[in-house]
Amino acid sequence: MERREFLKKCILVVAGASVPVSALTLIDPKKVFAENPDIQWAFLVDTNKCVGCGFCVKACKVENDVPLDANVSRTWVERYVYTKDDRRYVDSPKAALNGFTESRIDLGRGEFKDIDPKSVGKAFFVPKLCNHCSSPACTQVCPVGATYKTDDGVVLVDRKWCIGCGYCIMACPYAARFFHPVYNVADKCTFCYHRLSKGLDSACVNACPFGARKMGNIHDKEDPITQIIMNERVGVLKDEFGTKPQAFYIGLAQEVR
Amino acid sequence: MKSHVWRPLYVVIAFVVALLVFRFFYVPNDFGSGKRGFMYSFHRKSNEMEWKNQPAKYGVSGRERMHEYCSACHGAIVKVRTEKLHGIIPCEDCHGPAMNHPENPEKLNIDRSRELCLRCHTNLPYTTSERKRIPGINPKTHNTGLECVKCHNPHNPSLEGMK
């Protein structure tokens, strides 16, 4: 071996040995993912567990300053009653703020329908809220850019920028938006964005004693809620509208829309 | 070209310039779209922070963590509660939001109303719903006008624990 050759090889060996071990380990995608969480919030409703107590509605209204007595709400619970002669009734008196304390059906405009307990076939409760769609119709129609989808999947309304035209309220297929009686702008469920960013559950998830409402990060494959959405039989509301809703329902009946 | 063509054109140009100048000063410069694109997420960026900074009212999340938090001071009563049927109900559902309790609010506004209990304990003839598992009464005949807590202990609702 020549002297020049020897020196060259020495340099190579030293350079090779000085590379830290960490530089040689392969990048673990899970680790990278955990450090840069790609959050995409999704909601899961287990309709089988809901008893219609309305604690979620109360908690939501208190948490988000929606007047309790105003007949608007960011979330609500619907009651479905099927009679044995196959008549179907749906109601949600005061958005179920005080639960369902009567068996008669609220037909609206002060009219009620008494139902004979013996004729009830099946009945169940379905909590509803904004679906935080992937392709939300409401944000498309906003003429001033006041409502939008955040990068983590929540649809919000800019209260300072909203002109109150009401296009979004009409565009939402789920009637999840309403006109806020105090701020006089469009208002809707925010998934309790302020709570999520503080690491808390949303007020309705927090208040539900039965675990009928849950929330998770659908981009995190380890998330228990994502596991349920991926592995169990879940449905979404009004899939045919193409809005790609991000609120998933377990035990969805055909009549629930 | 003659001046009668130029004159209205100047007006139009002046109008457009005025509009652009107005827009330049009026539209906040953090207006833009996120990764959802112009169609779904054209918005004022600082509004996201405005929503995030809203104060929360309901305190610690999750039933277990809430029990843990509350039992730091109210240990005995939380223990009774968690062992009994009503253990599944978060404390704040009846006791009210307690984010900064005991500083602010110093005292919680407890809902002891009959209506609160009737949310779950009204007897509804829905045998297929989860509601059937909860014992229910007819609010029109069962001790009307009396608050439930006069006889029943909400922390230990079993009928042996009646006051």
Q: What's the ipTM?
A: 0.87
| Segment 17-46 of chain A within 8 Å of chain B by CB | none
The residue of chain B with its CA nearest to that of A38 is B35
Query: Chain B residues with CB inside 8 Å of A139's CB?
Result: 39-41
Of the candidates A200, A211, A205, A219, the one whose C-alpha atom is nearest the C-alpha of residue A42 is A219
Query: How long is chain B?
Result: 163
- A29 near A103, Cβ under 8 Å? no
- A162 near A146, Cβ under 8 Å? yes
Q: Out of A103, A200, A209, whose CB is closest to B93?
A: A209
**Nearest-angstrom CA–CA distance, A88 and A230:** 31
Task: Confirm whether A137 is domain-assigned.
Answer: no
Q: Structure tokens of A230? A: 């991926």
B118–A194 CB contact, under 8 Å: no
**Residues paired with A123 in a beta bridge:** A81
Task: Confirm whether A207 is domain-assigned.
Answer: yes
Instruction: Indicate which CATH number applies to the domain containing A236.
Output: 3.30.70.20
Q: Does A55 touch chain B (CB under 8 A)?
A: yes
Q: Which residue has the higher pLDDT, A112 or B72?
A: A112
Q: Out of A51, A100, A139, whose CB is closest to B130?
A: A51
Query: Chain A residues with CB inside 8 Å of B62's CB?
Result: 201, 206
**Nearest-angstrom CA–CA distance, A210 and B63:** 11
Examine the pLDDT at A77 and tell me if it is beyond 60: yes
Domain count, chain A: 1
The values of phi and psi at residue B41, to 5°, are -140, 40
- A52 near A123, Cβ under 8 Å? no
Residues with Cβ within 8 Å of residue A69, at least 6 apart in sequence: none
Task: Confirm whether A85 is domain-assigned.
Answer: no
Task: Confirm whether A219 is domain-assigned.
Answer: yes
A99–B35 CB contact, under 8 Å: no
Q: Does A163 touch chain B (CB under 8 A)?
A: no
Lowest mean pLDDT among A21-35, B83-97, B130-144: A21-35
Which residue range is the domain that position A199 belongs to?
41-72+188-250
What is the per-residue pLDDT for A25? Answer: 53
**Residues paired with A156 in a beta bridge:** A148
Taken in order B34, B37, B40, B42, is the CA torsion positive or negative? Answer: positive
B37 confidence band (pLDDT: 50, 70, 90): confident
B69-107 pLDDT, tens digit per residue, is: 888 888 877 777 766 688 888 888 999 888 888 888 888
Q: Does A242 touch chain B (CB under 8 A)?
A: no
∠ Cα A47 A49 A53 (to 5°): 95
Task: Confirm whether A104 is domain-assigned.
Answer: no
What is the per-residue pLDDT for B129? Answer: 85
Amino acid at B8: P
Task: Confirm whether A214 is domain-assigned.
Answer: yes
Taking the whole predicted model, whether its pTM rises above 0.80 is answered as yes
Q: Does B144 touch chain A (CB under 8 A)?
A: no
- B56 near A200, Cβ under 8 Å? yes
Q: Does B58 touch chain A (CB under 8 A)?
A: yes
